[in-house]
Amino acid sequence: MWKFLGKRFLQMFITLLMFQTVTYFLMDAQPGDIADLLTLNPDIPPAERERIRVDLGLDRPPAERFLKYIGNFYKGDLGVSFSQFPRPVTEIILERLPRTLVLFLSASVISFWAGYASGKVLAWKRGGVIEYSSTLVGVILYTVFTPWFALMMIWLFAVYLDWLPPGKFLDPILWLTAPEGIHANDVFVRMIWSVMIATGVMILGLIGTQRLSSQLRKTGRWVSFVVPFIGVFLYWRFASSGISLYAWDILQHLVLPVLTVTLIAYGGTMLLMRTSMLETLREDYILTARAKGMPEKIIRDKHAARNALLPVWTGLVFSIGSSLSGGIITETIFSWPGLGLTLLNAAQVEDIPLAMGALTVTGVMTLLSHLVADIGYAFLDPRIRFS
Amino acid sequence: MSKKFYLVLGILVIASLALAACAPETVTVVETVIVEKAGETIIETVVVEVAAEAPVVEEPVAAAAECCDAYRVAIFEEPVSLNYWNYLGPGSSVWTQYVLAGQAPALFTLSDKRFDFVPSLAKAIPEAVDNGDGTYTITVEMVEGATWSDGEPVTANDVVFTHNACKDLKLTQNWPNQCSPNGVDVTAEAADDYTVVYTFAEAPSLGTWQAGIALAPILPQHFWADGVAAAYVFVDGVAAPEMERPEDCEAEGADADACAAYATYDEAYTNARTTLYEADAAGAPSAGGYTTDKWEAGAFVQRTANDGYYFKGAEIVEFEDGTWSLTMPDGTAYELYGNAEGEETLRYTSGPYSPNVIFSIYGSQDAAFLALANGEVDYVINPLGLSRGLREQAEKGQGITTYTNADYGMYYIAFNMNKFPMSNYEFRQAADIVMDKEFVVNSVLGGVVFPMYSTMPPGNGFWYNPDTPAPYVGLSREERVNMAVQVLTDAGWSWETAPAWNADTEDVDPGVGIKGPDGQEVPELTILGPGPAYDPIRATFNQWISEWLRELGMPVKSELTGFNTILGPVFVDANYDMYILGWSLGNVAFPSYYYDFWHSSQCTADTGNYNTPCFKNDEYDALVEEFMSTGDLERAQELVYQMQVVLADQRPYINLFYKQTYDLANERVVFPYTETLGGIEAQAGMQTDAQVLLSK
């Protein structure tokens, strides 16, 4: 296992280096540079234009700039943004990343769970009206034009029904009265941590009660479920320094983008699970299980669905990696200032350090996703071993 | 079991957040209470827990019966910084400009509708005094009583502090124009707390004084002293190397000592500037109508009304005869440029009215206009132009009003006069003749823009010469082709088959085998321009112009490409044939672009400056040089009139069109005026003087 991980990390490092090299030179090969844009103003004297180029290091050859960038990168310095000078790239990414992670992790997990569950059932009960209509809905969601769909969701839920805010991640009017020193990102990070800790405690409780007797297990599970719930409640009630109202505001703003991304991702997951399940159901071991008289639910959930899950799992893990940059459309339409929107803006103005920072985060996440997918395979399919 | 379990689990985690959010909270507060102790009443400060009320949006300070709510403005990009030094330096951005508008006062300003030069924190418009030694002095008396938002007075020391920091630290980008415009050495001294004495190394001109030093921002010394001192540390005792600066330190044989000395020198100033640009601006006081006091990254920027704003309650009136008058609440009155005769063209009382201006940051233009239509914001401040579809969609929102104004910009085709045939006068003239701007504007584009014939947009009435020749307006296509062919033929151009109007097909039979006046072959020519995705109007013009030139037999093709792709060949390499772009023209009161765009010393190919056609014309140079050095406004106007005529004749640029600006706002926003060159956007949304009514 450790040998496998060591080799994989080495491979990942080499791949990342190659990715950064190619990406840097592609970015740099774009016509013009940010200095051209910054100095497109006749009021700026000629000497100033050259000085800006020197200050930004754009007077040096691309290879020299790249070597300097890579050297600094592996020392933990991602440089300074050209377009938000002199803000460090790391600071911008740390500000934007949690927002993107919350949006797309929530959507990915919900759509995965819903797609897995519904795809499994639809394949099992093949041929009914529900299956045909669900498949049709799945195909529509899978092929829908994302910007149009997102705008329709805004129109329906925000404009027509007026149930949800149409975009952004908070209401500025409410935040006018926010206590001094409270920033949205602090609330965001606290929300993420409280949900993660609560979920972690629940999962630990579930694992811990596995070997208990049936009655004790049931009680233990309820306890492990109620305790974190109460914990989260108490935290936001008493220990959140008066910011729960702002957390609620963010949560309200999160619903519509998460719902939109979830629905779009759900279509693909459900169809994939259904197809995979249909193939699995033709396997001999399913026939054998039926011949042995095993309960239908056991055959469906333990024999068929678990084997059918592998491609869906792959899709989920890979989508998390690519969602960081792939969320550009969603983040733009919902005015959700995450990493995708940052990458788009940086690329448009040729802010190479910021664009490289965002792309590198995407690259690292994608490589980690591959690793997680491989490790996950071994757990899902006993025939697969680390080697 | 497990499915249901996870479902319920997820719902409960979210519900716990919701419940906690809705529950009343206790907060720790410090209260001063009166308590009885041992028979005596004492006052004591204690810490108590009380049930906090849900935050309530602050009630606006009513300046009138129905005024005013928070002014909610949509922007679609983040400001770069709230540090004013950085804003005029490398962090320059139009979005930053909006959120810092008015924060730094100036001694003088431009009047509202006519853009006349008028006093702001100065008491009057001073005259320059010739010192007899080649230097000139301007002494500015400042008003007393103007304060920063923290209550400190705005003094001459602030003016001198800002001026010196700009000069001493060699601040970059937009700063040089604030302290040494056009490279002229200007020193500033505070004769007393309210008198600034400027000394110019040469006679002050409109460019160096009225459009330069006089409009420079003033920053508070008491707030920035430490930040500036930290920057000075890097350059204290650093002197410029005595040797000449090497042109290229990478070149073989470069003076290594000089290179090292200049590297050290440059590094010291870079460090000094970076220190200042990075300085924390939190709490920076403002002398404008609003203080920018909160920035929630990616979400909003909040400005709060500055109740101590010096001009709050001042009445501004403009008259038909050009009179500008300002009456302060204490009755002090200023009147300039006329005798207050004729109709009033403007009257308003200065704010601020709204308790807050809130800039909501949206991810895109579409999202911002959707928010306007939905009533989420009152106004979208939009510097990027607006497509008709998006405008019409937004106008369907309840209570949305559209304000239309002339834009202060121009869109043009430029010729590279270093290359044949663009260097040929008759070629440019023939191109001008065949360009039927009225046809493209009215028949193809449906009148969304306006044809332009002068290098000054008509909206800038003071400088626009209405008599600039436009001899080809109204010609038919047949007349245009015949006239162009005649012009070229007279100049010695020839064809194997000359272009001709075909009456049967009512079309042009294109020329074949065109040759220049000396029999030169005409090379294949390219018109660079933005693609339809970036700007469909310029793309349309590009295709029509290349089509008309092809009819004359010129081998011309359109190259519609990305904006960044045009910058290199045009502004860096100066290696192009023709291109179509646009300029936003900056200072309405002083059109210095006549120098930047067409003076021979500014040729892009020679100097990297902005005379991209490399237009070199002695007559024009003499006119623009006098314009740049004169301090006489009337003479300057005459010169600009003449320059427009020369340019219309020589055609380094052929102007194509100018646009209108569209400002969309909710009807509950009452602007002090809505007719203004460049639109409400160019006035940063008129934050200080707009009233957002509560009653609607």
Domain layout of chain B by residue ranges: 2-52, 58-103+284-312+350-404+672-696, 105-278, 409-657
Range B641-650 average pLDDT: 96
Q: Cβ contacts of residue B506 below 8 Å, gap of 6+?
A: none
Highest mean pLDDT of the ranges A33-42, A168-177, B666-675: B666-675
Residues B74-121 have pLDDT tens digits of 998 888 889 999 999 888 888 999 999 999 999 999 888 888 889 999
Whether residue B302 lies within 8 A of chain A, CB to CB, comes out as: yes
Closest CA to A187 of B52, B298, B80, B72: B298
Contact B148, B220 (CB under 8 A): yes
Does residue A325 have a pLDDT over 80?
A: no
Range B590-612 average pLDDT: 90
Choose from B4, B12, B17 for mutation: most chain A CBs within 10 A. B17
Residue B268: enclosing H or E segment and its boundaries? helix B256-278
Q: Name the token pair of A351.
A: 């802010």
CA atoms of A118 and B3, how far apart (whole Å): 12
CA atoms of A229 and A195, how far apart (whole Å): 9
Contact (CB<8Å) B20/A183 = no
Nearest to A251 among B17, B176, B358 (CB): B17
Residues B419-457 have pLDDT tens digits of 999 999 999 999 999 999 999 998 888 888 899 999 999
**Residue B37, Ramachandran bin (φ over 0: left; ψ between -120 and 50: alpha; else beta):** beta
pLDDT value of position B90: 84
pLDDT value of position B412: 95
E strands in B69-192: 71-75, 108-110, 117-119, 128-130, 136-141, 186-192
List, as ranges, residues 74-113 from B with C-beta within 8 Å of A. 77-78, 80-81, 86, 90-92
pLDDT value of position B24: 39
Nearest to B367 among A42, A232, A335 (CB): A335
List, as ranges, residues 345-374 from B with C-beta within 8 Å of A. 356, 358, 360-364, 366-367, 370-371, 374
Give the sheet arrangement for strand B660-666, strand by strand. B290-296, B300-305, B356-361, B71-75, B379-380, B660-666, B400-406
Q: Is the dihedral of CA A265, A330, A101, A180 positive or negative?
A: negative
Q: Name the token pair of B335.
A: 């009147």
Nearest residue in A to B182, CA atom: A45
Residues B214-245 have pLDDT tens digits of 999 999 999 999 999 999 999 998 888 888 88
Whether residue B299 lies within 8 A of chain A, CB to CB, comes out as: yes
Whether residue B51 lies within 8 A of chain A, CB to CB, comes out as: no
ipTM of the complex: 0.74
CA atoms of B97 and B288, how far apart (whole Å): 13
Assign a CATH topology to domain A1-30+78-147+256-387. MetI-like fold (1.10.3720)
Domain ranges of chain A: 1-30+78-147+256-387
The rounded percent of chain A whose pLDDT value lies above 90 is: 8
pLDDT value of position B5: 52
Highest mean pLDDT of the ranges B44-53, B104-113, B639-648: B639-648
From the CA of A3, how many Å to the nearest CA of chain B? 35
Assign a CATH topology to domain B409-657. Dipeptide-binding Protein; domain 3 (3.10.105)
Residue B684: pLDDT band by 50, 70, 90 thresholds?
Answer: very high
Residues A230-274 have pLDDT tens digits of 888 888 877 766 788 888 888 889 899 989 988 988 888 899 999
Range A1-20 average pLDDT: 86
Contact A28, B559 (CB under 8 A): no
Nearest residue in A to B594, CA atom: A42
Choose from B296, B361, B396 for mutation: most chain A CBs within 10 A. B296
pLDDT value of position B36: 36
Whether residue B572 lies within 8 A of chain A, CB to CB, comes out as: yes
β-pairing verdict for B324-327 and B315-319: antiparallel
Contact (CB<8Å) B374/A31 = no
pLDDT value of position B15: 53
Residue B160: enclosing H or E segment and its boundaries? helix B156-168
Report how far Cα A26 is from the mean position of its chain's Cα atoms.
25
Residues B332-387 have pLDDT tens digits of 898 988 888 888 889 999 989 999 999 999 878 888 888 898 888 999 998 877 77
β-pairing verdict for B525-530 and B578-584: parallel
CB A199: neighbour CB atoms within 10 A?
A: 16
pLDDT value of position B211: 87
Q: Cβ contacts of residue B193 below 8 Å, gap of 6+?
A: B153, B155, B156, B157
CA atoms of B670 and B69, how far apart (whole Å): 11
Q: Name the token pair of A97.
A: 């990343």
| pLDDT greater at residue B43 or residue B550 | B550
Residue A273: enclosing H or E segment and its boundaries? helix A244-281
Contact (CB<8Å) B358/A176 = yes
CA atoms of B404 and B678, how far apart (whole Å): 9
Choose from A27, A39, A48 for mutation: most chain B CBs within 10 A. A48
CA atoms of B74 and A279, how far apart (whole Å): 52
Whether residue B513 lies within 8 A of chain A, CB to CB, comes out as: no
From the CA of A227, how many Å to the nearest CA of chain B? 11
Judge residue B339's burial from the number of C-beta atoms within 10 Å of its C-beta, 0-12 exposed, 13-18 middle, 19 or more buried.
Answer: exposed
Which CATH code is given to the segment(s) B105-278? 3.90.76.10
Residue with tokens 């540090």, as numbered in its chain: B83
Q: Name the token pair of B10.
A: 């997820």
The rounded percent of chain B whose pLDDT value lies above 90 is: 55
Nearest to A44 among B16, B18, B173 (CB): B173
Nearest to B364 among A42, A51, A333 (CB): A333
Phi, psi of A250 (to 5 degrees): -65, -40
Contact (CB<8Å) B13/A251 = no
Contact A35, A53 (CB under 8 A): yes
Does residue B538 have a pLDDT over 70?
A: yes
From the CA of A6, how many Å to the nearest CA of chain B? 35
CA atoms of B231 and B240, how far apart (whole Å): 17
Contact B684, B381 (CB under 8 A): yes
Q: What is the DSSP letter of B227?
A: H
Contact (CB<8Å) A169/B16 = no
Average pLDDT, chain B: 86
pLDDT value of position B238: 85
Does residue A385 have a pLDDT over 70?
A: no
From the CA of B331, how many Å to the nearest CA of chain A? 36
Whether residue B277 lies within 8 A of chain A, CB to CB, comes out as: yes
Residues of B in contact with A40 (CB under 8 A): 567, 571
Contact (CB<8Å) B567/A37 = yes
Residue A161: pLDDT band by 50, 70, 90 thresholds?
Answer: confident
Contact (CB<8Å) B360/A345 = no
Residues of A in contact with B177 (CB under 8 A): 43, 45
CA atoms of B518 and B508, how far apart (whole Å): 25
Nearest to B296 among A54, A184, A345 (CB): A184
Contact A62, A73 (CB under 8 A): no
Closest CA to B305 of B694, B642, B695, B688: B688
From the CA of A289, how many Å to the nearest CA of chain B? 22
Whether residue B383 lies within 8 A of chain A, CB to CB, comes out as: no
Contact (CB<8Å) A168/B607 = no
CA atoms of B453 and B657, how far apart (whole Å): 8
Contact B187, B131 (CB under 8 A): no
Contact B636, B643 (CB under 8 A): no
pLDDT value of position B27: 35
Residue B60: pLDDT band by 50, 70, 90 thresholds?
Answer: very low
pLDDT value of position B311: 94
Whether residue B172 lies within 8 A of chain A, CB to CB, comes out as: yes
How many residues does the structure list for chain A? 387
Residues B58-103+284-312+350-404+672-696, CATH architecture: 3-Layer(aba) Sandwich (3.40)
Contact A65, A54 (CB under 8 A): no
CA atoms of B695 and B62, how far apart (whole Å): 12
Contact (CB<8Å) A333/B367 = yes
CA atoms of B75 and B298, how far apart (whole Å): 11
Residues B263-298 have pLDDT tens digits of 888 889 888 998 999 899 989 999 999 999 888 888
Residues B161-211 have pLDDT tens digits of 999 999 999 998 889 889 998 889 999 999 999 999 999 999 999 889 988
pLDDT value of position B63: 44
Does residue B28 have a pLDDT over 60?
A: no
Does residue B486 have a pLDDT over 60?
A: yes
Contact A335, B363 (CB under 8 A): yes
Closest CA to B556 of B511, B519, B518: B511
CA atoms of B339 and A26, how far apart (whole Å): 64
| pLDDT greater at residue B61 or residue B268 | B268
Residue B41: pLDDT band by 50, 70, 90 thresholds?
Answer: very low
Contact (CB<8Å) B298/A54 = no
Q: Cβ contacts of residue B312 below 8 Å, gap of 6+?
A: B289, B329, B350, B351, B352
Contact (CB<8Å) B299/A168 = yes
Residues of B in contact with A184 (CB under 8 A): 296-299
Residues B494-533 have pLDDT tens digits of 999 999 988 888 889 999 999 999 888 999 999 999 888 7
Highest mean pLDDT of the ranges A197-206, B59-68, B225-234, B584-593: B225-234
Which of helix, strand or coil describes residue A2? helix
CA atoms of B693 and B696, how far apart (whole Å): 6
Query: Does a cis peptide bond (omega within 30 degrees of 0) precede residue B352?
Result: yes
Does residue A73 have a pLDDT over 80?
A: yes
Does residue B402 have a pLDDT over 90?
A: yes
pLDDT value of position A205: 85
Residues of A in contact with B169 (CB under 8 A): none
Residues A19-51 have pLDDT tens digits of 999 999 998 888 777 777 776 776 676 677 777
Residues of A in contact with B299 (CB under 8 A): 168-170, 172, 175, 184, 337
pLDDT value of position B17: 46
pLDDT value of position B14: 53
Contact (CB<8Å) A36/B567 = yes
Choose from A51, A164, A235 for mutation: most chain B CBs within 10 A. A51
